[in-house]
């Protein structure tokens, strides 16, 4: 899978690096700093199909970022933590294609430092629930059999019941997760699209059916699960397709056990939109016209977004999801 594996000199004897290299069975190249090479010259996003390099590194600088408004459920602070850059999957709308100069993957191994930052944040919000999200710059489960960090974040949740961790994923790689006991503040959330749409735009990801099965396995094991219908993309039959998806979920008893459901209509920064047009000119993403909106992002116009979200919200409620558990993601006062 990996063309080359680069390891920063500074961490070459770190036990987590040793363990990853043992699993990879590949001779690494040692470099002073990952960003001496990673992203130094432009590597087109689609090159990830044929040649993907892996970098093992220590994250310097900001380890946590305050999430933008309307990122998660309202009234509580939300942060995301940065444990990796880039992803093995290839979603046509992925914002990483215009965000980094390269699709090569970086796995940061200094999780203890990330967790100590999380503890600092908690101490700045006494008596408040604080959310920490993984999966902003990468899928949060896809490589966990390799990286082996889940246990640390799980331990953090055990120690700090006022913290909530959300692992956001499209992966069905739940093996490592299932070795851990479920916790009320350790939530696994799956991004879902109707089956046919996922086939077309969530390239190289597990099918919607497989994701639903993984959700079912986890809920049966007692894990807290959540769902994101994000990005919602317009097509003629979008209503019917979401109805079918909600029925599929309902038949597995997922709708009654979701912690929350977020709805977000497809949106792009200008740069990402340009990349999507270049990389996927024939994509279904281009079937609805888009405009620059309130935050400078490119989206469908507001009445269409509201109509789509309200349609899906109504369907979700009809299928048994409690209205108070549904929120609209990255929208102005909707």
Rounded CA-CA distance 139/170 in Å is: 7
Rounded least distance, CB 288 to ligand SF4, Å: 19
Applying CB under 6 A, the site for ligand SF4 has a residue count of: 9
The reply on whether position 104 binds ligand SF4 by CB under 6 A is no
Query: Using CB under 6 A, which of the segments 90-98, 144-152, 234-242, 286-294 binds ligand SF4?
Result: 90-98
Please list, in sequence order, all residues whose beta carbon lies within 8 angstroms of the beta carbon of residue 155, skipping any fewer than 6 positions away: none
Rounded least distance, CB 95 to ligand SF4, Å: 7
Q: 127: which DSSP letter?
A: T
Touching ligand SF4, residues 141-200 (CB under 6 A): 170
Give the 3-state secondary structure of 107-123: EECCHHHHHHHHHHHHH
Rounded least distance, CB 48 to ligand SF4, Å: 9
Rounded least distance, CB 90 to ligand SF4, Å: 6
Query: Using CB under 6 A, which of the segments 28-36, 91-99, 175-183, 301-309 binds ligand SF4?
Result: 91-99
Rounded CA-CA distance 59/65 in Å is: 13
Helices (H), the chain: 15-24, 96-99, 111-124, 144-147, 150-159, 195-201, 208-220, 238-251, 270-279, 302-318
Rounded least distance, CB 203 to ligand SF4, Å: 8
The reply on whether position 139 binds ligand SF4 by CB under 6 A is yes
The reply on whether position 96 binds ligand SF4 by CB under 6 A is yes
Rounded least distance, CB 189 to ligand SF4, Å: 12
Starting at the edge strand that comes first in sequence, how are the strands of the sheet with 84-85 ordered? 29-31, 5-8, 54-57, 105-108, 84-85
Query: Using CB under 6 A, which of the segments 2-10, 31-39, 57-65, 88-96 binds ligand SF4?
Result: 88-96
Rounded least distance, CB 190 to ligand SF4, Å: 11
Options 79, 89, 156, 280; binder of ligand SF4; rule CB under 6 A? 89
Q: Which C-beta is closer to ligand SF4: that of 44 or that of 161? A: 44
Rounded CA-CA distance 182/95 in Å is: 31
The reply on whether position 90 binds ligand SF4 by CB under 6 A is yes
Rounded CA-CA distance 123/107 in Å is: 27
Taking Cα atoms as reference points, which of 236, 254, 167 lies closest to residue 196? Answer: 236
Q: Which C-beta is closer to ligand SF4: that of 165 or that of 272? A: 272
Rounded least distance, CB 94 to ligand SF4, Å: 3
The reply on whether position 275 binds ligand SF4 by CB under 6 A is no
DSSP string, 179-240: GSPP-TTEEEEEE---HHHHHHHEETS--HHHHHHHHHHHHHTT-EEEEEEEEE---TTHHH
Q: Which C-beta is closer to ligand SF4: that of 205 or that of 319? A: 205
- Given a contact cutoff of 8 angstroms between Cβ atoms, the answer to whether 223 and 184 are in contact is no
Q: 329: which DSSP letter?
A: T
Site string for ligand SF4, 43-82 (x = CB under 6 A): ----------------------------------------
Secondary structure (3-state) at 151: helix
Per-residue exposure over 240-252, b if at least 16 CB sit within 10 Å of its own CB, e if not = ebbbebbebbeee
Q: Which C-beta is closer to ligand SF4: that of 86 or that of 257? A: 86
Contact set with ligand SF4 (CB under 6 A)? 87, 89-91, 94, 96, 138-139, 170
């Amino acid at each position: 899978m990996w063309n080359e594996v680069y390891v920063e000199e500074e961490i070459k004897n770190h036990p987590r690096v040793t363990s990853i290299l043992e699993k990879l069975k590949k001779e690494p190249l040692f470099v002073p700093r990952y960003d001496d090479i990673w992203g130094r010259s432009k590597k087109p996003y689609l090159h990830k199909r044929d040649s993907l390099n892996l970098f093992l590194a220590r994250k310097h600088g900001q380890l946590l970022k305050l999430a933008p408004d309307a990122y998660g459920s309202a009234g509580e602070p939300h942060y995301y933590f940065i444990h990796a850059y880039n992803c093995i999957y290839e979603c046509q709308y992925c914002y990483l294609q215009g965000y980094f100069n390269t699709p090569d993957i970086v796995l940061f191994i200094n999780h203890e430092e990330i967790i100590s930052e999380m503890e600092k944040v908690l101490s700045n919000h006494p008596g408040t629930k604080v959310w920490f999200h993984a999966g902003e710059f990468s899928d949060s489960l896809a490589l966990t059999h390799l990286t082996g960090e889940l246990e640390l974040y799980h331990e953090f949740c055990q120690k700090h019941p006022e913290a909530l961790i959300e692992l956001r994923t499209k992966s069905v790689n739940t093996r490592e997760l299932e070795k851990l006991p479920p916790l009320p503040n350790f939530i696994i959330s799956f991004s879902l699209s109707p089956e046919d749409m996922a086939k077309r735009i969530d390239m190289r990801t597990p099918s919607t059916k497989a994701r639903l099965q993984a959700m079912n396995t986890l809920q049966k094991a007692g894990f807290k699960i959540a769902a994101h219908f994000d990005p919602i993309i317009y097509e003629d039959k979008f209503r019917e397709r979401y109805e079918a998806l909600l029925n599929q979920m309902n038949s597995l008893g997922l709708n009654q056990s979701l912690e929350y459901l977020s709805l977000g209509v497809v949106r792009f920064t200008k740069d990402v939109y340009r990349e999507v047009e270049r990389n996927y000119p024939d994509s279904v993403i281009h079937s609805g016209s888009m405009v620059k909106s309130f935050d400078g992002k490119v989206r469908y116009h507001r009445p269409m977004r509201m109509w789509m979200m309200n349609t899906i919200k109504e369907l979700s409620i009809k299928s048994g999801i409690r209205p108070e558990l549904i929120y609209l993601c990255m929208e102005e006062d909707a």
